[in-house]
Structure 1
Amino acid sequence: MQGKKSWTPAHLSLLCLTACICQSLYAQSAESEFESVVLPTLKIEAARTDTSWLETPASVYRIDQKNNQNNLGVNLTETLKGVPGLQINNRENYAQDLQISMRGYGARSTFGVRGIRLYVDGIPATMPDGQGQTSNIDLSSLDHIEVLGGPFSSLYGNSSGGTILTTTKQGQGRDSIEMGYSTGSHNKNRGDIILQGGADKAGEPSYVVSTSYFDTNGYREHSGSDKVLSNAKLTWDLADGSKINWMLNYVDITADDPQGLTRPLWQANPKQQVPYLRQFNVRKDIKQTQTGLTWSKPINDQHQIDAMVYAGNREVTQYQSIPDTAQKNPRHAGGVIDFERNYYGTDWHWTGKNLLPNTRITAGLAFDYMDEDRKGYENYVLENNLPQYGVKSDLRRNENNTLWNLDPYLQASWNMIPTVRLDAGVRYSNVHYESKDHYIVSGNGDDSGKTDYDKVLPSAALSWQIHPSTNLYASYAKGFETPTFTEMAYSANNGMNFNLKPGSSDNYEIGLKTQNLLGDFTVAVFQSNTQDDIVSAGTLDGRATYRNADETLRQGVELSWNKKLWRHLSAQASYSFIDATFDANVEEIRDQNDPDKILAAAIDKGNYIPGVAKNQAFIGLGWLPETGFNAGVDVKYMDKIYVDDINSDTAPDYITVNADVGYVWRNDDWKVRTYARIDNLFDKNYIGSVIVNDGNGRFFEPADGLNWSAGLSVTKAF
């Protein structure tokens, strides 16, 4: 690759310093005007620093669900809009979850979420090995989301290239029931019921209970799905100042998988499934139940204890498009993945305030455990010597996998002087894997094994309050990402790939935040140097394998602005530039049994990391009163995305426009909300996401064209 620029830390510092000088000059010239302005204080929970958004020395953003209600409420793409550095793609494939990456971390994922920590009401939605899912997040009862990027994410340990924390509403006021129904293109239907109520006095619980049903025929051929999601949260605010939250969550999904298309097939008909794949009836069934308890106890003005415990069960059965000829290899694990996973964990931490002058110290211990029974079956039976696909038949894999981690951590804040604060932390992240193989037959030996990964993760941030409305910070942290069990599941010889190393990174960020009459503005300049990054090693008989790249580099700039323009009219804008490249050559991998067969091509230094858009931009306007007419419009730009490590093709750049209108009527006992929206207003034919490094060249997952939805909800208070 020719003509690519390499940014140095000096370039990054110069850009941020220029922004800082300009902003400082502006702040000084308008100081007398802003001193009389009282701006709202928004506390940020994600960084655990007990600071406001302005004072938090990190790239952190809060999204309130009340401003994002004019939609179906099915997945996070409807809510997480315009967060700089966050790339969230809707595959139009409910069998594979959303594709989420942050500053280029997690982009390699072909399903589920990698490299980003997910939390629901303080409970991990990411397993100890770093694999997560968003399917159990209930938008009906959601209160807000916090998105934490950059170095501070390392405080959450393994696979925290970014952190997304969702929080359910707390029941308030009178008991009420809300019933809603929405419909839309492709026979989308969603109904939900929400019960909620506040506590009359200390010690009594407030509650929110939500359940919903969603089904659709799908935008593409063979992409139908149905989903049941239930969520409950009970909260006790006790007389001694302590608080208890108990959560229960259940999700049941059945989804067809349309899979990807080649470029010619996409251009011919983006709605189609590859004709050859229809015979396999590729699909996935998911069931998950989890529960958790959080407890916050202030002992006195200086000491506080916080604790969390959780447990869950997840079952997945997935039918794949692997022909019988490939499965005849005695080392092959079959065309049906079937596993049951039990998991549990706890996190306890103590916080001390002003034990030393102007300090805050947090010390904690996190434990997580996962036990998985994983089986594989053939996906066919023979009838008249011809394979009939889409059924579960003979056993081809049987193993028990366990993972656990025990992470101690320490975090401290020190106000050196009133306008300068130092935040520092360290976490010892360790993950222990073990696999016991119970499928040992002729030609398929014992693949049992175990390995341990660990890393000390220091972090530090220095912030300077230039002006009451302006804060400058610089931060550094060490990052750590282990391979997931799914990524370790296959290797060139079809056994467990215990040779995979964890990726480790050095992350730098300089940022500026300001909050004044012109709105909330942030700029962040970052650089991440990663060693042993986990990347594709090609596809072998339908199985994705992985390897380590010696060095990768991610660097860029993020800008965001939001402002209440007039009365109920608000504006939001953001821009992200991410230059994500391989920073060293990666050698090719050949088949051990056939040296002439290349399993994974060599990667040249300077190639772009696939799945990452170099430029993203967003702008939105919303008229958002509490009652009456409301409306919104937003425009999104996404740059082209490379589909594989050798940069052989791209998903083209695109611009989409979305618009919505609604009306809210309320009196003492009743509330009625209606909405209608159109997405992809100008019917752009574009690729919503790519299947990175697909071995068959079916990289492209087309996005929906012009589509609509509308809904009505009625709330009655008692």
Structure 2
Amino acid sequence: MTQIPRVTTTLLLALAGPALAAESSIKLPTQTILGSNPAAAADALPSASSHVGSNAISPFSLGANLSESLQRVPGVLALNRQNYAQDVQISARGFGARAQFGVRGVRLIQDGIPLTMPDGQGQPALFDLDGMQYIDVLRGPLSALYGNASGGIIQAYSAPAPLTPTLDNRSAVGSDGLWRSRLKYGGQHGDLGISANVSRLETDGYRDHSQAQRDLANLRLDWDIDDASTLTLLLNSLDQPETQDPLGLSAAALHEDREQAVARAEQYNTRKTVRHNQAGVNYQRTLANNDQLTLLVYGGERYVQQYLAFTGDDPFAGGGVIELDRRFGGGEIGWLRDTQLLNVPIELAAGLTYSYQGEGRKGFVNNLGRKGDLKRDEFNRVDSKEAYLISTWALTDQWSLTAGVRHSRVEFESEDDFLSDGSDDSGSADYRQTTPALGISYQWTPALTLYAAAGQGFETPTFQELAYRPTGSGLNFALQPSESVNTEIGFKLREGDTRVDAALFYTRVNDEIVTGVEQATTDRSTYANAGKSTRRGLELALEQRLPWDLNAYLAYTYLDAKFDQYTDGNGDDFSGNYLPGVPRHSVYAELAWAPAGGFSTALEAQSLSKRYATDDNQSSAPGYAALNWRAGYRHELGDWSLEPFARIDNLTDKDYIGSLIVNGAGARYYEPAPERNWLVGIGLQYQWR
């Protein structure tokens, strides 16, 4: 969607295509972050990073939610809310855990196009999972080089067009009226590569009042203009009408009936409609001196209409029906050079980025599910201008140094057109930040690499978080960006059939953005700055190939995240409390068996420890462990391929809380996960050989 998380000189290079990037000789760590040549250079990157290959992206599953793939990444919490009106909940090392909808604090990118707006809010539903080839996830200090709200980076790459024209369909049905089908075509036609897919998802939902329909369409065209230049065009569209929102449950309601919707959800017919269309173009050229020049331009529109669970007719309520009409766009120019300084080989990357979002925001009274009188009318805009410089120094055969800096300026402006209330709530805010990062790696043995890194980061509030003041009307421009200092040490081991990644990290955050005072008249929360907080922890990923065609994988995260200094707007002191929404322990484990012949099956286990739901740590979700099973079989019949599959989630039929609405209004914190549920499907593919 909209912002430019690109840290790399060639964020655009990525857009030019995974195939091109993989063949590139460039080893700049920032490009490795973006996924180019991940199998090689990522091991030398002085930062915690994870590569999720095509075989691990939604294996024998619905293929509609990013949480299906990211649950195996240490340090990242990706939870399915069972609520398509609010999307998947994603956080990295605690950044983004406060998000009540969308994604905060973690930057999202696909094929170089940002899916995060300039204000820092991302939309994971826009990822093209059907066309995705792999995902790279970055945590730690180097992620700060992506600018605003980059507590973690999720960068996805769609697969290049196959050489042989291919058409395939994949359909699945499951519990609670779930149905999804996609049709995909890809092929190389001369110098033009074409990849396209369309899909539809329908579900009645696990809970009452949670029906959803989602239509997606994606097109990618790759054109090899000549031996030195390429052009890539990307088109993406999402249509999600009248998605019902059951809202979070209180503890009493959860105990009474975990599948129910909140009474207000039925009374006010809470729902959301989203329409999103965007396009991006990337041009890349290799100059005569082998420098690389890249240019990226993108833009789009997004419309949202949301019915909330109250009338919104009080003087400062701003309406219970929200309509957002957004236009966004941006671009980047990047330059890459491989040179020497003081006889030391250096790779230099530099670039300029610009992104924009302009949004008309209106609020209307919610007359029990019908739009009433106008209560709010304003135009909000964000401009983000950034410049970056990154260098990689090959000090010796074993030592390498990565140093980078990014300067960001993010400007917010609001023009109030609803003056009948006697108040002009127009205003502006200008945030500027320079974020340096430094990392060093040492290849102790051919199989073992050690590294250390440090960096600074920052996160502005999003427009949704600025939208309401604790008292009165207008935007809450008293809300300030949070700033962080991040340090990390770790190692990466690649020895035969064994892969180990381990990282120890420590982060200090000033002015942590938290949910603040709840407005009694609207049941709506505002946001505030906490004083100081710390995050310290351990991430471990272990993969081991075993005899008898078995493969074992384990991802473990220990995260101790606390408020050091925090007194809220009511004068309550929460210093020493744990950050809500963040488990201290999280585990994902998998044992897969794939004998020759096309059959494969696996057991998956996911476990989270206790999570607090509120800043005061008085409400919580208990820890849980859930077990899943999947299996599939691929059979070739000439030019045809057939792939039936099935999965059962929550095999032991446990009752547990899937996700939390941190500091949710009305003490409605809990979003329960389904009991035992099933999915069966089939894939059918034809190739014109």
Superposition TM-score tier, normalisation by shorter sequence: over 0.9
1:207 is the counterpart of 2:177 = no
1:56 is the counterpart of 2:37 = no
> How do 1:493-512 residues align onto structure 2 when only pairs under 5 Å count?
493-512=472-491
Amino acid at match of 2:297: V
Amino acid at match of 1:78: E
CA distance in 1, matches of 2:66, 2:82: 13
Amino acid at match of 1:396: K
Amino acid at match of 1:299: L
SS of residue matched to 2:276: strand
Match of 2:672 among 674, 693, 702: 702
Match of 1:610 among 562, 580, 592: 580
* Residue in 1 that maps onto 2:73: 83
Amino acid at match of 1:281: N
**8 Å CA contact 1:114, 1:130 repeated in 2:** yes
SS of residue matched to 1:155: helix
- Residue 601 of structure 1 deviates from its aligned partner by 5.6
1:575 is the counterpart of 2:562 = no
Match of 2:431 among 453, 457, 473: 453
Amino acid at match of 1:507: N
1:527 is the counterpart of 2:514 = no
* Residue in 2 that maps onto 1:487: 465
1:269-318 per-residue CA deviation (whole Å, 9 max, x = no partner) reads 11011234421110000000011112232224641112211101110000
SS of residue matched to 1:135: helix
Identity %: 37
SS of residue matched to 1:507: strand
SS of residue matched to 1:62: strand
- Residue 93 of structure 1 deviates from its aligned partner by 0.4
- Residue 365 of structure 1 deviates from its aligned partner by 0.7
- Residue 219 of structure 1 deviates from its aligned partner by 0.1
Which has the larger displacement, 233-242 or 505-514? 233-242
1:227-258 per-residue CA deviation (whole Å, 9 max, x = no partner) reads 00111111123441433221100001131000
1:167-207 per-residue CA deviation (whole Å, 9 max, x = no partner) reads 1111112112112211000010111110111244xxx1111
* Residue in 1 that maps onto 2:3: none
Q: CA, structure 1 residues 261+627, in 2 after alignment: closer, same or farther (shift >3 Å)?
A: same
Q: CA, structure 1 residues 226+465, in 2 after alignment: closer, same or farther (shift >3 Å)?
A: same
> How do 1:633-652 residues align onto structure 2 when only pairs under 5 Å count?
633-652=603-622
Q: What TM-score results when the alignment is normalised by the length of structure 1?
A: 0.88
CA distance in 1, matches of 2:559, 2:382: 33
**8 Å CA contact 2:28, 2:347 repeated in 1:** no
Q: What TM-score results when the alignment is normalised by the length of structure 2?
A: 0.92
User: How well do the aligned residues superpose, as a CA RMSD in angstroms?
Assistant: 1.8
1:288 is the counterpart of 2:276 = yes
**8 Å CA contact 2:313, 2:365 repeated in 1:** no
Q: CA, structure 1 residues 569+483, in 2 after alignment: closer, same or farther (shift >3 Å)?
A: same
- Residue 423 of structure 1 deviates from its aligned partner by 0.3
CA distance in 1, matches of 2:596, 2:55: 9
SS of residue matched to 1:416: coil
Give ranges in structure 1 of 5+ residues lacking alignment.
1-40, 381-388, 590-599
> How do 1:176-195 residues align onto structure 2 when only pairs under 5 Å count?
176-195=166-185
> How do 1:326-475 residues align onto structure 2 when only pairs under 5 Å count?
327-356=312-341, 357-380=344-367, 389-442=368-421, 444-475=422-453
CA distance in 2, matches of 1:112, 1:402: 19
- Residue 265 of structure 1 deviates from its aligned partner by 1.4
- Residue 83 of structure 1 deviates from its aligned partner by 0.6
CA distance in 2, matches of 1:461, 1:690: 35
1:63-109 per-residue CA deviation (whole Å, 9 max, x = no partner) reads 12333330111101111122110001111000001111000000011
CA distance in 1, matches of 2:265, 2:571: 26
> How do 1:530-679 residues align onto structure 2 when only pairs under 5 Å count?
530-540=509-519, 541-566=522-547, 568-586=549-567, 588-589=568-569, 600=570, 602-624=572-594, 628-679=598-649
Q: CA, structure 1 residues 61+290, in 2 after alignment: closer, same or farther (shift >3 Å)?
A: same
Which has the larger displacement, 467-476 or 276-285? 276-285
- Residue 354 of structure 1 deviates from its aligned partner by 2.0
1:217 is the counterpart of 2:187 = no
1:717 is the counterpart of 2:687 = yes
1:274 is the counterpart of 2:262 = yes
CA distance in 2, matches of 1:552, 1:81: 25
Amino acid at match of 1:379: N
SS of residue matched to 2:479: coil
* Residue in 2 that maps onto 1:169: 159
Which has the larger displacement, 43-52 or 131-140? 43-52
Give ranges in structure 2 of 5+ residues lacking alignment.
1-26
CA distance in 2, matches of 1:525, 1:155: 20
Instruction: State how many pairs are aligned.
Output: 652
1:263 is the counterpart of 2:239 = no
Amino acid at match of 2:201: F
- Residue 604 of structure 1 deviates from its aligned partner by 2.1
SS of residue matched to 2:267: helix
SS of residue matched to 1:117: strand
Which has the larger displacement, 109-118 or 61-70? 61-70
**8 Å CA contact 2:32, 2:42 repeated in 1:** no
Amino acid at match of 2:266: R
**8 Å CA contact 1:151, 1:475 repeated in 2:** yes
* Residue in 1 that maps onto 2:100: 110
Amino acid at match of 1:335: G
1:680-715 per-residue CA deviation (whole Å, 9 max, x = no partner) reads 111110001111111311110101110000111211
Which has the larger displacement, 475-484 or 304-313? 304-313
CA distance in 1, matches of 2:212, 2:32: 35
**8 Å CA contact 1:116, 1:159 repeated in 2:** yes
Amino acid at match of 1:445: S
SS of residue matched to 1:209: strand
* Residue in 1 that maps onto 2:16: none
* Residue in 1 that maps onto 2:17: none
CA distance in 1, matches of 2:313, 2:682: 53
Match of 1:320 among 300, 308, 328: 308
1:345-375 per-residue CA deviation (whole Å, 9 max, x = no partner) reads 1111101102433110001111101110010
* Residue in 2 that maps onto 1:12: none
**8 Å CA contact 1:302, 1:355 repeated in 2:** no
Q: CA, structure 1 residues 49+716, in 2 after alignment: closer, same or farther (shift >3 Å)?
A: closer
CA distance in 2, matches of 1:460, 1:132: 26
**8 Å CA contact 2:291, 2:338 repeated in 1:** yes
* Residue in 1 that maps onto 2:455: 477
CA distance in 2, matches of 1:717, 1:109: 43
Q: CA, structure 1 residues 637+100, in 2 after alignment: closer, same or farther (shift >3 Å)?
A: same
1:147 is the counterpart of 2:132 = no
Amino acid at match of 1:60: S
* Residue in 2 that maps onto 1:243: 230
CA distance in 2, matches of 1:330, 1:81: 44
1:253 is the counterpart of 2:240 = yes
CA distance in 1, matches of 2:404, 2:467: 34
CA distance in 1, matches of 2:90, 2:302: 21
**8 Å CA contact 1:629, 1:662 repeated in 2:** yes
CA distance in 1, matches of 2:474, 2:91: 28
Amino acid at match of 2:83: N
- Residue 49 of structure 1 deviates from its aligned partner by 9.1
CA distance in 1, matches of 2:397, 2:648: 49
Q: CA, structure 1 residues 96+276, in 2 after alignment: closer, same or farther (shift >3 Å)?
A: closer
**8 Å CA contact 1:637, 1:655 repeated in 2:** yes
* Residue in 2 that maps onto 1:19: none
**8 Å CA contact 1:125, 1:134 repeated in 2:** yes
**8 Å CA contact 2:388, 2:407 repeated in 1:** yes
**8 Å CA contact 2:71, 2:77 repeated in 1:** no
SS of residue matched to 1:140: helix
1:518-547 per-residue CA deviation (whole Å, 9 max, x = no partner) reads 511011000110111111112212222011
SS of residue matched to 2:143: helix
Q: CA, structure 1 residues 668+348, in 2 after alignment: closer, same or farther (shift >3 Å)?
A: farther
CA distance in 2, matches of 1:48, 1:705: 36
CA distance in 1, matches of 2:80, 2:276: 21
CA distance in 1, matches of 2:63, 2:630: 14
Match of 1:131 among 99, 113, 121: 121
